[in-house]
Structure 1
Amino acid sequence: MREYLRELNFTQGTVLQRASTNDEYLALARTVRHYLMSRWMETTTEYYRTQPKGVAYLSAEFLLGRQLGNALLAADLTDIATEALASLGIDIAELAEAEVEPGLGNGGLGRLAACFIDSLATMGVPAIGYGIRYEYGIFRQNFVDGRQVEEPDHWLDNGSPWEFAHPEHEVTVSFGGSTERYTDGEGDDAVERTRWTPGWQVLGVPYNYMVPGYRNQQVNTLRLWSARATHAFDLKIFNYGDYAEAVRAQTFAENISKVLYPEDSTPQGKELRLQQQYFFVACSLRDFIDRLLPGGFDLRRLPERICFQLNDTHPVIAIPELQRILVDEEGLDWDEAWDITRRCFAYTCHTLLPEALEVWPVELLGRLLPRHLEIIYRINDDFLAEVRESRGDDELLVRRMSIIAEHPQRAVRMAHLATVAATKVNGVAELHSQLLRDKVLADFATLWPEKFTNVTNGVTPRRFVRLANPGLSGLITEAIGDGWVTDLDRLRELEPLADDPEFRRRFREVKSANKDRLVELLARRDGIDIDPGTMLDVMVKRLHEYKRQTLKLLHVITLYDRLRSGELDLADTVPRTVVFGAKAAPGYVMAKEIIALINHVGAVINADPEISRVLRIAFPANYDVTVAETLIPAADLSEQISLAGKEASGTGNMKFALNGALTVGTDDGANVEIRQLVGDDHFFLFGLTEPEAAAVAEGGYRPSAYYEENASLRRALDLVARGEFSGGDRSTFEPVVSNLLGEDRFMVLADYQSYLDAQERVEAAYRDPDAWSRSAVLNVARTGFFSSDRSMRDYLDRIWHAERLGGA
């Protein structure tokens, strides 16, 4: 209490009687961080002293969520802080609500990265996360007439007590300019080298965040970079009255770290995105070499000290950057430098969609990073020579494998570059990794079969069970002790309790209480009214056509049509609230149309006084980690309905299962492993398998045939087409209807009937609450495999071979 009041008085400059909620929150946050800082300093000092092999996790996203609760949990201070504040008349829950979560990610990729760094700290692995400190994050989503409107996410406005700025450790990052050859040395010692003369530069300022391990005295670091101009303000120009020009350099430089994933449908947007990617990896490599390695360290030993993990293709430009440092700055010869570079990187691919594998036009990359393009050309020449030597003169194969694509424009394939350079390439679920080997990167897997492996994703049980679901956590701990928080395999000990009527009853009470929490949150936050007595049917994930929110919506429209027509009896229908949560990328027009359609369908159904008693749609805007932590524990049904062969893994599916929701899903991504673990009787499977979907596509998929043959599907689409949900305007959602009937790239119509059949099985199962809760308990008991701690063990064993200095 004394430390808290000191922070309130001397840092916030106020007294308890006049303090705002934000003052009280900031004072508490700083008190907790002070407690963790000594551990942080000790951890950092120990890493520097012993120089163990560690991991640098390079990711464009780190979707951390609120930090206060996690820090209190890790430091075992929750009860102490709660009691101390209560003695001052302060409700700690109210202070926790004042925190704004950092806007540092978009969806699954960022949440995964946050889970991984939590597990690395908890397991005692020497690790550092590197990313970008986005000033405005991705965007704050709002709905106007049901349509998504993007607004700036001012997450830093009230201060961020969890970050530590270190402008004295700034890094200079270069762009543009030209290169020239020169001779280094004389006579027999003369060596031809290349000099890069940049056209302009920016500064990267590091902001450090603590990543505390769970009650193990270890605190790792997340280092995020903010862009600043080298000369931010020109006083002479300002004094002449040209105020805008006086700060032009500052504005230009700071654009690099303004927002996550700038809209890249324009040439300027593409260039800014590439600037972002190079900026953060250039800062990170320089930082690691200059600050985390001891003076005089022999960089030939760098692979013994670090593995740079590339989280998707965003950080892949780090490969030519390290090669440039070793050759141009450190003076190593090419082959020796390339051997070092190839042993320092590992690559995680997070997609099966060709369009999601980044390519950069040669013209853009050469203009922005001319030396790196030269290096990439050299890497490619050497690699293609290796391919020809190994596979003969198969020029079609050479073109397929080349890092440089020739059509439709000359461009650098970043996934190919990553695969060529990495020690290992991993997918993120068993099916995904198999499809990477068999389809996406098949030629590379044939050349280097030993390079490919799998690490199925996982989620941290600290945030997504222990923090998010205190009722269930307490029930689990009472039954099997608290060791499960760092050893999620122990959830298996719950399995016999699935047959205990009393345990099932208490499990249902926890779920009911979680629904009540959600009702209160959505009413307060969004003005959304939901009935906690209904089945909570949840689909929350990034809005993308392959995730098939349209399939879920067609099911809702079909239920609405059948209820309205009397085909379904209102009195005999299982009441259901369907919750959507999703953002669409600002330039993704079809995704934004689907959001609008969901909201318009919801408006019509929710306004119907009869049907809304058994069917409602809720779509809270700006779905984020904070909402997820309340919504996921409340869910009854988890919608994981992507077309088989399109979802890499998913992590939402894991969070729902661990919190006692049953899954309706295709055999896609990690759904496959969830179903295998929980059993077919406790998973609602539907849809084409990946081979079946591929066969349908190869045979010439005609979605209109499904429309013509299925009366329910025809009625549902016709309702949309004739303006039932758009005030009679047939043109409003015509693009969505035409897309489904004409192309339907992700086979929504092909899987429609199978999905409806699965939902009928869902309704039948939900009518027996005791049997449903038994299945839900078994989902919890059998999904401990999906801990991010297990994922980290797999990375350590199969890829990184880093040391563990302690931890759980």
Structure 2
Amino acid sequence: MKDSIHANWQMTQQTYDENESKQVYYFSMEFLLGRLVESNLLNMGMLDLYHDTLKSLGFNPEEVFREEHDAGLGNGGLGRLAACFLDSLASLQLPGHGMGIRYKYGLFQQKVVNGYQVELPDNWLKDEYMWETKRDDKAIEVRFGGTVESKVENGHLQFSHHDYERVLAVPYDVPIVGYDNNTVNTLRLWSAESTTNSFHFHSSRGHDYYHYLDYKRSIEKISEFLYPDDSYYEGKILRLKQQYFLVSAGLQSILQRYKKRNKPLSQLSDHVVIQINDTHPSLVVPELMRLLIDEEKLGWDEAWTITEKTVAYTNHTTLSEALEKWPEEMIKTLFPRLYLIIHEINERFCKMLWYDYPELRDKIAEMAIISYEQVHMSHLAMVGSFSINGVAKLHTSILQNRVMKPFYTVFPERFNNKTNGITHRRWLLNANPELANVITEAIGKEWIHSPEKLTDLISFASDSSFQEAIAKVKHDNKLKLAALIKEQYQITIDDQSIVDVQIKRLHGYKRQLLNLFHIIHLYNRCLEDPNLDLTPRTFIFGAKAAPSYSFAKQVIKLINAVAEKINKHPQISSKIKVLFLENYSVTLAERIIPAADLSEQISTASKEASGTGNMKLMMNGALTIGTQDGANVEIAELVGKENIFTFGLTSDEVFNYQRSGDYRARDYYNNDRRLRNVMDLLVNQHFSGDDVEFKDIFYSLLYNNDEYFVLRDFDEYIKIQNDVQQTYQNQTDWVNKSIINIARSGKFSSDRTIQEYANDIWNIKPTKIGNLIIN
């Protein structure tokens, strides 16, 4: 298999060079690939053959494939989206590659000890990673710190960089295999390494050897961990170093490759597109300027024209803490030359606003790239890009009309929407082959290449035999998940119960707490009425909390405390089970999603840019219970309001509350007995040995006024959950809705998303690669 991949990999790059294909480079801090053996075999049309061969040799294919470790290159939706995009680029035969960091350790391996999240190193590289190829010959020097001097030579201002710290960026290339074609694109991952010639030894100082070890360690830390803790100064420095390390190494390698074509740099944007995935790689803008001005000796105006025409920016959030800003002094110290460039970009941008947009003069401080001793990375990305896209219709509208409205006034032609998508090959064809087979038997194979053809299933939604087949697949997947849970947690779940899942990063705005409050409410009802008629429900959580995010870690503890109380209750546990499945990953998601009945997408309206978990679950026949947020809005438009469970505040209502300050969380606590009973259990020792264990959660809701409107949406959430139970009791109706969701999910294939990027932003075309080579 590897020989075939590498032969086609070489042929793909050769074909791109010969055809002078325009190529896109996708810069992202995360690429959550998951395991690649199965997906590569699937894409190469060899999966069934390998299954049969392994079985004939007496092996269980699933156990064999499970030996591959998930690559520790991402955390959540941002990284999984990047991985789906790479898959779609290759499968659509589009020339596109990823640029990321080869983290020695992933985010962390999550263990739950006494209900608490404990972080252990995810040493995913302890064994050789079979998919990567080290390219020592392509190593790049990246520079930090030092001093910059300027002088005029031949009438031109020249800059020289001295006394800087040298870091060697060594690329490790991973092949990205397209589906049913010969295309193999590249994910290039950069590793920070040190060299002895970048450290100055002085023989008269015997302790220099130990200084060198300290130096070597400081260099290697740059690519050691995904998302270092930036709650302290050193962590901020390290995170910022990571971002520049990726940007500088990636851009230098792109320019080196481009220059081999012997094309003028003025034509760079005709051959190269650089896509920034969220704000983390925003230093692409000044670093490209530095390379063009200092290394290639272009003038400012020419370099700026090239940069603006080459760089595109995707925004993934409206959360202010995620729209990164860094202390001006930190940028100046770490990147002295880059700081001068950012300062110049800022000066020119602010002058343009002053003279060309007098109506925005009072907004200049708000729009500036450098203001109040902070460098605003999203502003830098928007000013230096030719395209600015959101990732769902609602999200893009919020960017244009609220969060980035002044920039939309200046650059209306740059803003556009590209609703996210997922690769149906991994999340349906590979993760749920039984469902894929049922679909193919009904409508043929065309949907695999053209997922929009899934709409042909609508005519089968009321067909009793097809409904029976769909229901059987769901039940079989529940049995598989139940076996996994029994094996790992020694808990038996009811395979006839509603499998209700919330699997995503743990954050306040995603409102795992609202889900948990509903569970506690059901628990209270069962205590009050042991004969309560309740459709059995299995609640499953999967989530990691950032190590420094104490509130999120406390929610994990509360989930586990509630689970322990409910699961051990002799009567209630037959109606309700609660599970927190530790160390959530792509591989675990592939086991949960096919078994899910209900998809919890309950973020505070306006906070979730898009979501992709909602799409994966929908594609596998789960019904969505969700707010009018992110891509939930578009899911509802496609399936119809009768096939989704929608509740809660709208984004406009959230903005109105935030503007007026009229929200009073305590009023909801005082006026709703059910809510009060739920919350009081947090501070009366019911779920813990003392009354202070969960006080911070309690106080955040009442004394910090419930930032994410959990209490406001509680009543509507309870009502819509009652609708879920009633609907599930009519299985014919439920399965009908499930089929309609599957049928409409083709719209959310990442193939559609990437084709829109290719047509509307990147202007890249498919490049057909020659016949498959098998040695």
Say whether the fold is shared (TM-score over 0.5).
Answer: yes
> For residue 560 of structure 2, what is the amino acid of its counterpart?
N
1:210 aligns with 2:179: no
> For residue 774 of structure 1, what is the amino acid of its counterpart?
N
Structure 1: give runs of 5+ residues left out of the alignment.
1-31
> For residue 366 of structure 2, what is the amino acid of its counterpart?
R
1:342 aligns with 2:308: yes
1:576 aligns with 2:537: yes
Deviations 1:574-627 (A, max 9, x none): 000100011111111111111111111111111111101001111011000000
Please point out which of 362, 368, 377 is paired with 1:396. Answer: 362
Please point out which of 124, 133, 138 is paired with 1:164. Answer: 133
2:746 alignment partner in structure 1: 784
2:213 alignment partner in structure 1: 247
> For residue 39 of structure 1, what is the amino acid of its counterpart?
N
Distance 1:102 1:52 in 2: 30
Deviations 1:543-580 (A, max 9, x none): 000000110000000000011111x734x210001000
Distance 2:424 2:339 in 1: 43
- SS of equivalent residue, structure 1 residue 720: coil
* Compared CA separation, residues 767 and 226, structure 1 to 2 (3 A): same
Distance 1:233 1:563 in 2: 68
* Compared CA separation, residues 462 and 243, structure 1 to 2 (3 A): same
1:755 alignment partner in structure 2: 717
Give, in angstroms, the shift of residue 159 of structure 1.
1.7
> For residue 59 of structure 2, what is the amino acid of its counterpart?
I
2:187 alignment partner in structure 1: 222
Instruction: Say whether the 8 Å CA contact 1:660–1:780 is kept in structure 2.
Output: yes
Deviations 1:69-101 (A, max 9, x none): 001001111122223333433333221011101
1:181 alignment partner in structure 2: 150
> For residue 656 of structure 2, what is the amino acid of its counterpart?
A
Distance 2:56 2:591 in 1: 27
* Compared CA separation, residues 656 and 807, structure 1 to 2 (3 A): farther
Structure 2: give runs of 5+ residues left out of the alignment.
771-775
Distance 1:308 1:626 in 2: 30
Give, in angstroms, the shift of residue 395 of structure 1.
3.6
1:534 aligns with 2:497: yes
1:353 aligns with 2:319: yes
Deviations 1:389-410 (A, max 9, x none): 221275421111111121xxx1
- SS of equivalent residue, structure 1 residue 751: helix
1:113 aligns with 2:82: yes
Please point out which of 40, 54, 65 is paired with 2:23. Answer: 54
Give, in angstroms, the shift of residue 230 of structure 1.
2.5
* Compared CA separation, residues 159 and 239, structure 1 to 2 (3 A): farther
Instruction: Say whether the 8 Å CA contact 2:499–2:538 is kept in structure 1.
Output: yes
Give, in angstroms, the shift of residue 518 of structure 1.
1.0
Question: CA RMSD, aligned part only?
Answer: 1.7
Distance 1:292 1:300 in 2: 12
2:96 alignment partner in structure 1: 127
Please point out which of 638, 654, 659 is paired with 1:677. Answer: 638
1:463 aligns with 2:426: yes
* Compared CA separation, residues 476 and 393, structure 1 to 2 (3 A): closer
1:426 alignment partner in structure 2: 389
Distance 2:52 2:556 in 1: 44
1:801 alignment partner in structure 2: 763
Instruction: Say whether the 8 Å CA contact 1:55–1:309 is kept in structure 2.
Output: yes
Please point out which of 553, 572, 575 is paired with 1:614. Answer: 575
Greater than 6 Å deviation, 4+ residue runs: 232-239
> For residue 471 of structure 1, what is the amino acid of its counterpart?
E
1:26 alignment partner in structure 2: none
Distance 1:235 1:660 in 2: 64
Instruction: Say whether the 8 Å CA contact 2:148–2:159 is kept in structure 1.
Output: yes
2:649 alignment partner in structure 1: 688
Give, in angstroms, the shift of residue 293 of structure 1.
4.3
Deviations 1:456-510 (A, max 9, x none): 0000001001000011000011111122122110000000101100100110000
1:650 alignment partner in structure 2: 611
Number of equivalenced pairs:
767
Please point out which of 88, 91, 110 is paired with 1:141. Answer: 110
Distance 1:664 1:458 in 2: 19
Please point out which of 514, 518, 521 is paired with 1:555. Answer: 518
Distance 1:516 1:235 in 2: 63
Instruction: Say whether the 8 Å CA contact 1:460–1:788 is kept in structure 2.
Output: yes
Deviations 1:528-557 (A, max 9, x none): 432222110000110000000110000000
Please point out which of 666, 672, 691 is paired with 1:710. Answer: 672
2:592 alignment partner in structure 1: 631
Please point out which of 269, 275, 283 is paired with 2:241. Answer: 275
The TM-score normalised by the length of structure 2 is 0.97
- Structure 1 residues 633-642 or 484-493, which shifts more? 484-493
Please point out which of 348, 356, 378 is paired with 2:344. Answer: 378
Please point out which of 568, 584, 590 is paired with 2:551. Answer: 590
1:294 alignment partner in structure 2: 260
Please point out which of 368, 381, 402 is paired with 2:334. Answer: 368
- SS of equivalent residue, structure 1 residue 777: helix
- SS of equivalent residue, structure 1 residue 227: strand
1:23 alignment partner in structure 2: none
Instruction: Say whether the 8 Å CA contact 1:319–1:341 is kept in structure 2.
Output: yes
Distance 2:151 2:109 in 1: 50
Instruction: Say whether the 8 Å CA contact 2:70–2:587 is kept in structure 1.
Output: yes
Deviations 1:334-364 (A, max 9, x none): 0010000000100000001111100011011
Distance 1:344 1:614 in 2: 57
Distance 1:461 1:77 in 2: 18
Please point out which of 304, 325, 345 is paired with 2:291. Answer: 325
1:40 alignment partner in structure 2: 9
- SS of equivalent residue, structure 2 residue 692: coil
2:684 alignment partner in structure 1: 722
1:476 alignment partner in structure 2: 439
Give, in angstroms, the shift of residue 807 of structure 1.
8.6
* Compared CA separation, residues 734 and 662, structure 1 to 2 (3 A): same
Distance 2:739 2:769 in 1: 29
